Chains A and B, each alone.
Chain A
Amino acid sequence: MLKALRMDSDTCTGCHQCEMMCSYGKVGAFNPAKSVMDVSLYNGGAVNIPSTCTQCEEAWCMVVCPVEAITINPTTGAKEISAEVCVGCKVCSIACPYGAINYDADSGVVTKCDLCGGEPMCVEACPTPALAFVDKDSTGYDRIWNHVTADLVDCDSTVRH
């Protein structure tokens, strides 16, 4: 069973612990600017919405990459970036319609959520049920995906097996 991150805004308190742990996992420092998990605050913090890559089937980033730096981890299903292969062209960062892949100028490569190899640190850090690692089919991603993919190319899912 493939698992995915469930992100629930109703129980997110906006504490940003997930961003701290994410950046610690990614670059070894507590620096939310380096986090690939983002919590957006609305109504002065009354509504908080965590967001990151949903590991979408279309994988716009992976399909567009000119050097095959993004591949699927067969165990987790996550689309992972190889920092060794990535040349830093950034074309994935404009191709992802969710804005979930970003260029990191310090490292010269792009970064995105890779589910921490199957043990997401953001979930560990979250003090409420707002972030959970659950069955991929119970994440409620459909709502996000339907918004975007309704009018984009959806002639397939993954191109490479």
Chain B
Amino acid sequence: MHYVIIGAGPAAVAAAEKLRVLDEDGQITMIGSQAQQPYSRMAIPYYLTGKVEESGTYLRRSSDHFESHRIELVHGEATAVDAAGHKVILGDGSAMAYDKLLIATGAEPIIPPVAGMDDPRVQQCWHLEDAERIIELAKPGARAVQVGAGFIGCIILESWVLREVDLTVVEMGPRMVPRMLGEKAGNLLKTWCESKGVTVHTGTTVETIESTQNELNVVLNNGEAYPADVVIVSTGVKPNVGFLQDLDIKIDQGIEVDEFMQTSISDVYAAGDCAQGLDFSTGETAVHAVQPTATEHGRVAATNMATNNSFSYKGSLNMNILDTLGLVTSSFGAWEGVDGSDSAEIYNPDNYQYINLQFKDDVLVGANTVGYHAHLGVLRGLIESRVPLGVWKERLKKNPVGLMEAYIGVTQEVAGSA
């Protein structure tokens, strides 16, 4: 059995390792387009600040990890899939035959349609090479404009501040991280960033980026303009599926997969940021593009590739955690609430603290937090186990911070009061 995986990110690596566990004798090939060892984009912000070397971003530490697991790493770019012939076509024109194929090509940055984006001082922050280029441009004292304050933007934002650049952030949405944080949480984060010396514009777009030899000039739709030495574009990502344009495969936001992570083509699976899989919270499908979903997708897809679809996946819980200049924010599941849900909330803007819990009947379905980082995982445990909270719901409504007590109370069936 030849398993071929297109991609070498977290979903691909999780899948390859899982395949090796389940199929001792199978041939496993991972096709990666990046020059480096498989690395983690999540570690790039820490590479930018100098916390880790390039090797500190690698998904696996040992240099012979893949070799010792008999996972063959092929450097190349997949340009097409011939499903009828069970072949992947590579950039050099060669073809690689597969029995089972996993597409784990991840995502690529969205470049907004703004004039001036092609200047070399306008940088994405996605590949390791981008990070290296930014390290050159973002010297202490440099003026930087970051376009986009979404999930990735708010993680890398800290890197600029630690590099002592003079930073302005421009976000199109009505608040920071609008797809992960509600109004109060997103605005708390904005106030926090401003208190740390970052200029933040929300509800604002970039009209154009003017280039001169010495500097850039970033013109906003509110009439303001910021001269800049470097512009970092972080306006979201989209599934990297362009190479499948000639293939008859169902693609919506991402590659559509069923509960086995199989695409609309048999023997072809998809996982991670490029896949539109079951969403635990909604029962619909969605692209989550977060690390926990990527690794789960990889393991579930591999299990089904090796066992003829024996494992039905209940879907991924969308969740995120950010640390922006020391303020930790998180989101879980249906943080915006669902039809008929009620909520518990603590809002303490002076201390940058906020918790919002969303309940459907007596089950927790979603949460947003700001300024807390203790025992956050129990939010996942409570949501994803769908455990009835019983008396603990009212206690959580009175004291949303008592999550750990509630969790232990529920799972160990303590009837008393906290």
Residues of A within 8 A of B (CB): 9, 38, 40-44, 46-47, 49, 51, 60, 63-64, 66-68, 85, 87-91, 93-103, 105, 108, 143-144, 147-148, 150-153, 155-156, 159-161
Contacts of B414 in A (CB 8 A): 42, 47, 49
Contacts of B404 in A (CB 8 A): 38, 40, 51, 99
12 pairs from A and B in contact (CB 8 Å cutoff): A40-B405, A40-B408, A63-B299, A66-B42, A88-B51, A91-B42, A93-B377, A94-B320, A96-B377, A99-B381, A99-B403, A103-B323
Q: Identify which of A43, A51, A89, A101 contacts B408 (C-beta below 8 A).
A: A51
Whether B417 is near chain A, meaning CB under 8 Å from some CB there, is yes
**0/1 interface trace, chain B 312-334, chain A, CB 8 Å (1 if under):** 01100001110100101010100
Q: Is the CB of B412 within 8 A of A91?
A: no
Contacts of B386 in A (CB 8 A): 151
Whether B409 is near chain A, meaning CB under 8 Å from some CB there, is yes
Q: Tell me, in angstroms, the Cα distance from A70 to B412 when the chains sit together.
A: 28
Chain A at the B interface: SS class:
loop
Q: Which residue of B lies closest to A90 (CB)?
A: B321
Q: Is the CB of A153 within 8 A of B377?
A: no
Q: Tell me, in angstroms, the Cα distance from A156 to B313 when the chains sit together.
A: 12
Q: Identify which of B296, B326, B412, B417 contacts A49 (C-beta below 8 A).
A: B412
Q: Is the CB of B40 within 8 A of A94?
A: no
Given A47-B416, A97-B385, A148-B411, also A63-B295 (CB < 8 A): yes
Q: Tell me, in angstroms, the Cα distance from A66 to B375 when the chains sit together.
A: 20
Interface segment among B53-61, B207-215, B230-238, B245-253: the answer is B53-61
Given A89-B43, A148-B385, also A160-B376 (CB < 8 A): no
Given A51-B408, A95-B377, also A66-B59 (CB < 8 A): yes
Q: Is the CB of B378 within 8 A of A155?
A: no
Distance to closest chain A CB from B158 (angstroms): 11
Whether B171 is near chain A, meaning CB under 8 Å from some CB there, is no
Given A87-B52, A90-B321, also A144-B384 (CB < 8 A): no
**0/1 interface trace, chain B 30-50, chain A, CB 8 Å (1 if under):** 000000000010110010000
Q: Is the CB of B314 within 8 A of A151?
A: yes
Contacts of A101 in B (CB 8 A): 377
Q: Is the CB of B40 within 8 A of A98?
A: no
Q: Tell me, in angstroms, the Cα distance from A41 to B414 when the chains sit together.
A: 11
Distance to closest chain B CB from A92 (angstroms): 8
Q: Tell me, in angstroms, the Cα distance from A5 to B251 when the chains sit together.
A: 48
Q: Tell me, in angstroms, the Cα distance from A152 to B403 when the chains sit together.
A: 19
Q: Tell me, in angstroms, the Cα distance from A63 to B328 when the chains sit together.
A: 22
Distance to closest chain A CB from B185 (angstroms): 15
Given A105-B326, A160-B17, also A67-B40 (CB < 8 A): yes
Whether B407 is near chain A, meaning CB under 8 Å from some CB there, is yes
Given A64-B292, A67-B61, 15 more A-B residue pairs with CB atoms under 8 Å apart are A46-B416, A47-B414, A49-B412, A51-B408, A66-B10, A67-B43, A87-B51, A97-B377, A99-B378, A102-B375, A105-B326, A144-B412, A148-B384, A155-B311, A160-B17
Q: Is the CB of A155 within 8 A of B303?
A: yes
Q: Identify which of A93, A94, A156 contacts B18 (C-beta below 8 A).
A: A156
Contacts of B380 in A (CB 8 A): 94-97
Contacts of B46 in A (CB 8 A): 87-89
Chain B residues within 8 Å of chain A by Cβ, number:
61
Within 8 A of A (CB), among B249-286: none
- Considering residues A46, A147, A159, which has the most beta carbons from chain B within 10 angstroms of its beta carbon? A159
Given A87-B51, A94-B380, A103-B328, also A67-B59 (CB < 8 A): yes
Q: Is the CB of A90 within 8 A of B328?
A: yes
- A-B pairs with lowest CB-CB distance, top 8: A97-B381, A99-B375, A99-B378, A66-B40, A43-B416, A96-B377, A99-B377, A87-B46
Q: Tell me, in angstroms, the Cα distance from A41 to B378 when the chains sit together.
A: 17
Q: Which residue of B lies closest to A50 (CB)?
A: B408
Distance to closest chain B CB from A67 (angstroms): 5
Given A47-B416, A153-B296, A161-B21, also A98-B377 (CB < 8 A): yes
Q: Identify which of B21, B42, B384 contacts A151 (C-beta below 8 A).
A: B384
Q: Is the CB of B412 within 8 A of A9?
A: yes
Contacts of B314 in A (CB 8 A): 151-153
**0/1 interface trace, chain B 375-405, chain A, CB 8 Å (1 if under):** 1111111001111000000000000000111
Q: Is the CB of A98 within 8 A of B416?
A: no
